[in-house]
Amino acid sequence: MGYPRGGVRRRDPERVNPPCALESTGKGSLDTPGGGLEFGEGAPEAAVREVLEETGYVVELDELLGVDSVHVRAEDRLNRSGRPLHALRIVYRAHPVSGELVHELDGSTDEAAWVRLEDVPNLRRVDLVDKALHLSYQSRAHALP
């Protein structure tokens, strides 16, 4: 299953763009906007849709940063399906073109917020946040000096 992520943008060194989302995992962990594909939906379209649903922003994708593969044991699944999960997490760089920051209603996100890059190391976060930032630093297109 593919899990397209809205990703990060580093043109503004003060914050992670688009906003990271605090997911309702019961742990209040920082995560990038994203989620599963709808049937017949492409990964880029899903990434744009997920960012809109979770943050209120319409984004334009700038580049594919990378693909991350993760295996989750059945007993570690949040939905308690009893089945293991192998997910491909597709990470894009994106920038907002319209909208305003809102909190997702009746979804998996507790809160959407801008997060300063310097604060990220001190926050509880899912592993994909670090991987996305690492991919962003490796990108030649928008790396900070």
Strands (E), 25-84: 29-31, 57-72
pLDDT tens, the chain, 145 aa long:
445 555 444 344 445 554 555 444 446 788 888 888 999 999 999 999 988 988 888 999 988 999 999 899 999 887 788 899 998 999 998 888 999 888 777 777 777 888 877 888 888 888 888 898 888 878 766 554 4
Q: Of 59, 60, 132, which is closest to residue 100 (Cα–Cα)?
A: 59
Six token digits for residue 33: 């906007």
